Amino acid sequence: MATITLPEAEVETGKQEMKKSATKYVYFFGGGKADGNGKMKDVLGGKGAGLAEMTNAGLPVPPGFTIQTEACREYMRHGAASKDVDRQMDEALAKLEALQGQKLGTGENPLLVSVRSGAKFSMPGMMDTILNLGLNDKSVDALAKVKNNPRFAYDSYRRLIQMFGNVVLDIEKPVFDEIFDAKKKQKNTKFDTGLDAKALLEVIAEYKKAVKKHAQRDFPQDPHEQLVMARDAVFRSWQNDRAKHYRRINNIDDMLGTAVNVQIMVYGNLSDTSGTGVGFTRNPATGTKEFYGEFLLNAQGEDVVSGVRTPVPIRELQKIMPDVYDQLRDITTRLENHYKDMQDFEFTIQDGKLYMLQTRNGKRTGLAAVRVALQMVEEGLITKEEAIFRVEPNQLYDFLVPRLDEKSTKVEVLATGLPASPGAAVGQIVFTADEAVKKAGHGAKKNPVILVRAETTPEDIHGMEVAKGILTSRGGMTSHAAVVTRGMGKCCVAGAGDITVDEKKREMRVKGQTFKEGDWISLDGTTGRVIKGKLNTIPPKADDPELMTLMGWAEPFRKLRVRANADIPRDAVQARAFGAEGIGLCRTEHMFFGEKKLPHMRAMILAREEKYIPAALAEHNRKQRTRLTLKQLEPGLQSDVRQRAQELARRGALKKLLPLQRKDFIGVFRAMDGFPVTIRTLDPPLHEFLPRREDLMVEIAVLEATKPKSLKLTGLRKLLARVEELHEFNPMLGHRGCRLGITYPEITEMQARAIFEAAVDVAKKGVKVHPEVMIPLTATLKEMANQAAIVRRVAEEVFKEKGTKVDYMVGTMIELPRAALVADEIAKEAEFFSFGTNDLTQTTFGFSRDDVNKVLPTYLAEGILKQDPFAALDRDGVGQLVRMATERGRKTRPTLKVGICGEHGGEPSSVEFCHQVGLNYVSCSPFRVLTARLAAAQAAATDTLKVEGGRTK
């Protein structure tokens, strides 16, 4: 297959070019020719590369030049731009002046420019922009004359002073706002437009005074000085808090820096044949092939953003300026054909003349991504192979959650918060978890409710479980609400800061409106929008035919199998529907938390040894050929006998759990007929099944202080004693995993029995069953051997009893660094490995996942970590262990099956890594199966097609 060229590959080429000419800081564009081109996003930023490409394509772009990102990086390092940068900028400015026949801020028709940031990845609104640069006390009059519009000229000048004062000279915005508002008051007008040229001249005078006062210097009248200062301010804006925050959230490298684009000014607010707008070549929400966007007549970009005037759909332009409209359609179609992708563009019309200000590949929903890719293949724009890369695997989640049907009613967006957990939810507001439970009701009487909280806490869980969606006014993407709802696959909008939640009054206030308990709202967790009223929802469609077509192109490449993590039959059925090829992790402990099972589990843990001491003692005496009472035994042996008595007690309780586990396994095996099912033996420390220690301590202390004769006390004290016994300082590193199975072999025995009895049961009924018994938390060969021996012995026992055999394997989780280091040893006993990368990340980094949020925000903000290692697999550290264990394990056992069942199994870049390492499968939550399938296919296709980083950005 031939090598195909994809956008990212082009960027690579651009990068090389940059290296060759490391000292070229300034790239000119104009007069139909540009120094740079569209491939040079690394160097010129997205905007600069787009401008160069459009210029080269002969499109009407306001000419100018781009100061490349290396200049910004140097500025960050040295605190000043180099002389080379200054010199090259001056040369470019001279060229621009020559091209335009104007001088910057000088002469009768002064050249005015905009100075804009433009990084490799779009960071809308995060950095600073300065317009109208070049205006001063003299040139403003020239402009007034040229444009024949003094008000326009003075308004432009006062805007420059305001922007420059704020951005360059660090003067607080209110300083200017107060002057402006006072002037409006004085002139008795509510609108900016109420100020005429004279009034604006007064404003300018006061602005200049304010600059002098606050910046201890005059507003610079020298246009060149303005330019240098503005350029440096844009460089600095790369480091402002907003920009840093945005990069942190969007995982953008802090070291990239921004380019600076200097362009001649064009004005959409000069006349009624002027205007400005934005658009997409196809519908970014649905993918429909339609010219989509909006524009404003006689306005500047600012006006669109500020929301004072409502833009009109772009098709209206066809009526108002048909020629311009046709030209715009023609240009954007050419752009789409050129970039072979849907374009997101900006334009300005100045006195009937169209200027293209920006074009880039448009952001889109998952639905749109799939549809656009398919259309483009049909249109012959891209190949099927390229289409595979046009969808971000994560976007497929859109197909698995309901969406709001925005056509069903008028959409009034109340606020936009963080898209914390995708999907849609429509329901009646409740403000407490208890109310949620009450209002949601049971059975037939179910009401949809939306739980609205300032922020959620673990105490709200019961309310979150019954609610359709969660809305919080505080907290980020990793807040409690966000994390919990994502786990539940439930829609959540978090940190909608415009909303005030008054939990006392039980109301929420936003945009001057007040909402009470029972009012309807709709949430869009995919975009973060909070919408007033009751919208309809569109159910998810994982079997969308277009999606199926795309997956059909992608799947043949895929080498990794994709399994699901599912603990109960229902989840297994769901996973299979999403295309899971087996269960990679069935956590048996989750089966114990059910109402029916927890009491038996507790009975096992609290096993009353007393009843069994005689039996254990008799056994001991028999073995030791002695005839002693418990007290006569030496302390060590006494405790041995007690332990044996506890074991006997545990065995009693386990007997009651056996049939319940078996039933669950039967359900899971049935759902996965024909596919392997990996079942992990008990993993969590036993205290997780008991009440919390501190709660018991408090309860006892309070009872002792108030009702010291309460009969409850004895029981509580006994319970606490056992809880204390099981208490651990670091449960993550505690008595769990195979350590439980080794100290309480009867637990492993019971579980193995339940597994094999279930397997034989379904096998007899014709189900193809492949149990894989997985031992958790091994660190040594001997642990593995100990547990594998129990499993194999029980398997043989069951097969003998039932007269039927099934194929099975015994393997282990690799989730401790030591296991990876001695994987060659462990593979002697383990027939498969499954990387538990959650725990492996915890131990490799020494990060407790439950506590890491105390550190992680700072680490991401300071750039110490680029990503949350629990979200995306840390290739350098954890990945090194994954690779090492895989290689060493297969050295011992070439047929070793290796997979991953941590949450990374559903994260695209981690899936790619698993493919590169050569694992056999990944396993993830059912809702991530589609994503993992596509990510695996992309990774393999990247290999096959010999392209690098084929994914589109």
Q: Which of residues 675-734 bind a second copy (CB under 8 A)?
A: 693-694, 697-698, 701-702, 705-706, 728-734
List binders of a second copy among 601-640 (CB under 8 A): 621, 623-627, 634-637, 640
Residues 725-764 interacting with a second copy (rule: CB under 8 A): 728-735, 737, 739, 742-743
- Examine residue 892 and tell whether it contacts a second copy (CB under 8 A): no
Q: Which is nearer to a second copy, 79 or 497 (CB)?
A: 497
Q: Does 817 bind a second copy (CB under 8 A)?
A: yes
Pick the closer one to a second copy by CB: 384 or 739. Answer: 739
Catalytic annotation present for 480:
yes
Give the list of residues 6+ apart from residue 840 with CB closer than 8 angstroms, or none. Answer: 814, 815, 816, 817, 820, 878, 881, 882, 902
Q: In this structure, what DSSP letter does residue 103 have?
A: B
Residues between 372 and 431 with contacts to a second copy, criterion CB under 8 A: none
| Binds a second copy (CB under 8 A): choice among 67, 161, 171, 404 | 171
Residue 220 DSSP symbol: P
Of residues 649, 652, 585, 645, the one with CA closest to residue 615:
645
Q: How far is the CB of 636 from a second copy (least distance, A)?
A: 7
DSSP H helices, 533-634, are 545-554, 569-577, 598-605, 613-624
Q: Which of 561, 557, 556, 575 is nearest to 898 (CA)?
A: 561
Q: Which is nearer to a second copy, 282 or 888 (CB)?
A: 888
Nearer to a second copy, 35 or 783 (CB): 783
Identify the CA nearest to 871 among candidates 891, 854, 885, 852: 852
Are 364 and 342 within 8 A, CB to CB? Answer: yes
Q: Which of residues 222-281 bind a second copy (CB under 8 A)?
A: 241, 245
Distance of closest approach, residue 105 Cβ to a second copy, in angstroms: 25
Contacts of 90 (CB under 8 A, 6+ apart): none
Q: CB of residue 446 vs a second copy: minimum separation in angstroms?
A: 33
Cα–Cα distance for residue pair 605/726, rounded to 1 Å:
9
Count residues binding a second copy (CB under 8 A).
82
Ordered DSSP codes for 155-176: HHHHHHHHHHHHHTT---HHHH
Distance CA 48, CA 30 (A): 12
- Outline where 57-100 has alpha helix (H): 69-78, 83-100
| Candidate list 187, 209, 446, 782; residue touching a second copy; CB under 8 A | 782
Which residues, 194 to 233, sit near a second copy by CB under 8 A? none
The Cα 770–Cα 775 span in angstroms is 16
Q: Minimal CA–CA distance to 832: which of 772, 892, 888?
A: 772
Catalytic residue among 491, 586, 901, 914: 901
In the range 851-890, which residues lie near a second copy by CB under 8 A?
851, 854-855, 858-859, 862-865, 874, 876-878, 880-881
CB of 228 to a second copy, least distance (A): 20
CB of 689 to a second copy, least distance (A): 16
**Residue with smaller CB distance to a second copy, 236 or 282:** 236
CB neighbour list of residue 143: distance below 8 Å, 6 or more residues apart? 110, 112, 135, 152, 153, 156, 157
Is 327 in contact with 354 (CB distance < 8 Å)? yes
541 contacts a second copy (rule: CB under 8 A): no
> Would you say 437 or 616 has its CB closer to a second copy?
616
Nearer to a second copy, 739 or 802 (CB): 739
Calpha distance 360→226 (Å, rounded): 29
SS3 track for 350-408? ECCEEEEEEEEECCCCHHHHHHHHHHHHHCCCCCHHHHHCCCCHHHHHHHHCCEEECCC
- Please identify, using beta-carbon distances, which residue of 182 and 698 lies nearer to a second copy: 698
For the question of residue 914 being annotated catalytic, the response is no
Region of 339-347, 560-568, 650-658, 817-825 interacting with a second copy (CB under 8 A): 817-825
CA distance 106 to 100: 13
Residue 846: which region, alpha, beta or left (left: phi > 0; alpha: psi -120 to 50)?
Answer: left
Q: How far apart are the first and last CA of the chain?
A: 24
Q: By C-beta, is 411 or 703 nearer to a second copy?
A: 703
Which of these is catalytic: 72, 480, 492, 620? 480
Rg (CA), the chain: 34
Site stretch for a second copy (CB under 8 A), options 204-212, 439-447, 481-489, 773-781: 773-781
Whichever of 242 and 462 has its CB closer to a second copy, that residue is 242
Find the binder of a second copy among 13, 106, 109, 166 (CB under 8 A): 166
Please give the Cα distance from 746 to 757 (Å, whole number).
16
> For residues 767 and 770, what is the distance between their CA atoms, to the nearest angstrom?
10
In the complex, the smallest distance separating the C-beta of residue 853 from a second copy, rounded to whole angstroms, is 10
Supply the minimum distance, in Å, between the C-beta of residue 240 and a second copy: 8
> Which residue lies nearer to a second copy by CB, 41 or 888?
888
Q: How far is the CB of 701 from a second copy (least distance, A)?
A: 4
Query: What gap in Å lies between CA 177 and CA 197, rounded to an integer?
Result: 18
Q: Can residue 786 be called a binding residue for a second copy (CB under 8 A)?
A: yes
- Of the residues 842, 920, 923, 931, which one makes contact with a second copy according to CB under 8 A: 842
Shortest approach of a second copy to residue 239 CB, angstroms? 11
Q: Say if CB 830 and CB 811 are below 8 A apart.
A: yes
Structural contact between residues 658 and 754, judged by C-beta atoms closer than 8 angstroms: yes
Q: Are 351 and 274 in contact (CB under 8 A)?
A: yes
Number of Cβ within a 10 Å radius of residue 238:
25
Task: Give the integer Cα–Cα distance in Å for 782 and 2.
Answer: 51
Question: What is the pattern of x (binds a second copy, CB under 8 A) and - over residues 118-157?
Answer: ----------------------------------------
> Could you tell me where the DSSP H helices lie in 467-612?
480-488, 545-554, 569-577, 598-605
With binding defined as CB under 8 A, does residue 477 bind a second copy? no
Spacing of C-alpha 684 from chain mean position? 28
The first and second tokens of residue 307, run together, are: 């929301």
Out of 13, 780, 838, 952, name the contact with a second copy by CB under 8 A.
Answer: 780
Residue 74: CB minimum distance to a second copy, A: 20
Which of the residues are catalytic? 480, 901
